[in-house]
Amino acid sequence: MSDLASHTPADPALVAHLTAGIAEARAIYELLFPTQQLFFVLSQGNNPIWAAPEVIEGPHNPRPQDLGADYLGTLTRPGAYDGAPQVTIRLAIPRLPLPGEIKQIDAPWRPMRGLGALFRASPLWYEQVRYGAEMARKRQADRRTDQTAMPLGDGSALLPAPVAPDSDKRPAILIGMHWLEMGGAEKLGFDTMRWALAAGLRVFVVASVPAVQRLADKLPDHPDLTFIRLDRYLPHHLWPRYVQRLAMAENIRAVHIHHCTPLYESLTMLRMHLPWVQTIDSTHIVEYANGGYPRISGVWSNYLDMQHVISGELVRYFRDRFHAPAGKVVLGRMLDRKNNDALPPLRLQAGQKTLHACFIGRLFYQKRPVVVVEALRALNAWAGRNGVTLTATIVGEGPYDGTLTRLLRKHGLSSKVDLLPGNTDIPALLERSDILLLPSNNEGLALVCYEAVAHGCIPISTRVGSQDEVLPDGLLVPLAPRAAVAGTVAAVDAMWRDAGTLARHKDALQAAWTRLTADPTAEEVLMPVYCRLAQGDAA
C-alpha cells in the first residue's frame, strides 16, 4: 500500500520558512529567559504577520488547544541548573504572506456603515460629515487624554545607584520602529540606522507593530545591524524585560524610539535598572484623535534624555504642554544638506496653458485621497473655464486604490489622471509638475512639500501641523474638505491670474526654504550623540 497523505514530504521552501521562524523565536526567548527551562509549543499559523505568542511562566499542563490540527511539535531548551523554573511558550509560526498581502495588507476602503449612499451621492459631503465627526472626537479626546508628564524620582544617595557593567562588546544602540513600512517616521528611522552605523555603533532594530515589514529588505546590509522580530514573537508586556536583557547582553548604550509604543513602556525598566542607557525619541505629528506619539512622548518626557522633533510646532507643543526643560527638546529637520544647493526656479507661470498637478503619498485616510480627487475635479472644471489643459499624477498605494480608480472614472478624469505605484521616480515627477496637492488630515512637516520646492513644484497643503513653516498663507487651505477643495482652486486661480501673487508666493517659498535650511538637520543633532555613544561616553 502507498503512503498516507500525512507522510508526504513538505515543500522545502516552506520547511525553510518555518525553520527560520522557529530559530528567530528561540533566539528571542533564550535571551529573555537565560536560565529557565523552556518548552516551545509550536504550531503552524494561519496569520502572515503575528505568531500569537503566549508565555506561561511556571509549571504548565498541556491543554487540548496546545495540540490542535496545526500542531507542529515541541522543543525544549534545558534550564541552566536542576530545578530551573519552567517557561512554556506557545507560538503559531506565521505563514508566508500571499502576493496580495505583500502588496496591500489592509482591506479595500469602504464608506462607513450607513453612509454608503451619501458617499455615492457626494463623496465630498461624505468627507465633510466625517471631518465633522473627527473634530467632535478631537474635542472629547483633548479633555480625556492625559496631557501631563509623569514624574520621575531621582532616587536617594542613601541607596547605591545601578552602575553599567563592563562589557567586551562595542557599544550598541536599540532603534525601535513603529513598523518597517512606508512613512515619514520610518524614513527617519532608517536614516538613524545609517548614522548610527556610520558613528561606529552596533545597531539592533525592533518594530512594535506586527506587519509584513515590507521595508525589511531595505535595512542597511551591514554586519553590525540586527533586526529582531519582536513584532512577531514577543507580547508587548514582555518587551521591558527583553530590552533589559538585550541591553545587558549587547552593551546597549542608547535606545532611540521612533513611534514604538512598547519601548516607551520599557522606559521605567531602563530608568530603574539601567539608568546609564540614553533614551532618545523622535516625533513628527500631533494627531487629532489623541495627540498621537508626541503626546505619548510628552507623558514620558521625564524619562527621556532627548526629545528630537522635526518642526517648530512640536518644540512649542512640548514646551507649552509638558513644560520640557530647555535643551531636552531638540529641533532637527528631516532635511539633507547635500540637496541644499541653489533652489531651482519654481515652474508655474501666470496664464500658462497647461497645468500638471500631482499627489504623492500613501493612499490612506490620513492623506485624504477622496479630497485629492475632488480637488482635481474642481481644478478640471476651473481649467475648462479658463482654457487650461489639466493633467495630473497620483502616486501611492493603499486601501483607497479601488475607490480612487472608481471616482476618477465617475468624474471623467481617468484619461487625465495617471495612477502610479509607490516606487515611481518622485524627483522626475516633481520636475514635470506645476503644483503638488497635499490636503492631508494631519502632517508634521511634510517632507514631500520640501522636496517639491526643491524640484520647482509649488505645494498647496492643508493648514495642519507645521506646514506653515514651509508654505506661505496663500498656499495653505482650510482643513474642512469642502473648504480645502475650494481653497485649492482659489490658490491656483490666484497664482495663474495674477503674476504678482505668484511672485509673492515664490518669494515666500524661497524665504521659508532659506529659514528651514538654516535650522539644524536631524543628522546634525543626532550624529554627535551617536558618536559620543560609540566612543563609550554618555550622550
Partner 1 sequence: MSVLNKTAAVIVTFNRSGKLMAVLDALAAQTMRPDIVLVVDNASTDDTAALVQARADADPTIRHLRLPANVGGAGGFHAGIKAAYQMGAQYFWVSDDDAYPRPDALQSLHRALTGFQADNGWRPSFACSRVEWIDGSLCEMNCPRTVWDWARFVRPGSAWALVDSASFVSVMIPRWAVSEHGLPIADYFIWFDDAEYTRRIARSYPGIFVPESVVVHDTPDNRGVNFGLVDDKSLWKFKYGARNETSWRRREMGLMGVLAYAYGVRGQMRRGDVPSSLRRQIYGAIIKGLGFRPAIERV
Q: Which is nearer to partner 1, 6 or 423 (CB)?
A: 6
Output the nine-digit C-alpha cell for 3: 503512503
Q: How many residues comprise the chain?
A: 539
Least distance from partner 1 to the Cβ atom of residue 64, Å: 11
Least distance from partner 1 to the Cβ atom of residue 98, Å: 6
Least distance from partner 1 to the Cβ atom of residue 99, Å: 4
C-beta neighbour count of 409 within 10 angstroms: 11
Least distance from partner 1 to the Cβ atom of residue 50, Å: 16
Least distance from partner 1 to the Cβ atom of residue 137, Å: 33
Q: Three-state DSSP class for 235?
A: coil
First-to-last C-alpha distance (Å) of the chain: 71
Least distance from partner 1 to the Cβ atom of residue 178, Å: 26
Cα pseudo-dihedral 413, 417, 421, 423, rounded to 10: -170
Dist. CA 234–CA 180, nearest whole Å? 17
Q: Strands 86-93 and 37-44: what pairing?
A: parallel
Q: Which is nearer to partner 1, 45 or 439 (CB)?
A: 45
Say if residues 464 and 440 touch (Cβ distance below 8 Å).
yes
Q: Which is nearer to partner 1, 2 or 423 (CB)?
A: 2
Half-sphere exposure (Cβ direction) of 328: Cα atoms closer than 13 Å: 20
Dist. CA 342–CA 54, nearest whole Å? 56
Residue 164 DSSP symbol: P
Q: In the complex, which residues of this chain contact partner 1 (CB under 8 A)? A: 1-8, 10-11, 13-15, 18, 44, 46, 68-70, 72, 95-96, 98-100, 102
Q: Which is nearer to partner 1, 14 or 381 (CB)?
A: 14
Residues 6+ apart with CB under 8 A from 362: 182, 183, 396, 397, 398, 422
**CA separation, residue 62 to residues 35, 67, 69 (Å):** 22, 8, 15
Q: Which is nearer to partner 1, 13 or 158 (CB)?
A: 13
Output the nine-digit C-alpha cell for 110: 469602504
Q: Three-state DSSP class for 55?
A: strand
Q: Which is nearer to partner 1, 14 or 499 (CB)?
A: 14
Q: Which is nearer to partner 1, 92 or 375 (CB)?
A: 92
Least distance from partner 1 to the Cβ atom of residue 97, Å: 9
Helical packing angle, 292-299 and 312-322, nearest 10°: 40
Closest alpha carbon to 515 in 312, 339, 330, 285:
312
Least distance from partner 1 to the Cβ atom of residue 395, Å: 25
Q: Which is nearer to partner 1, 100 or 223 (CB)?
A: 100
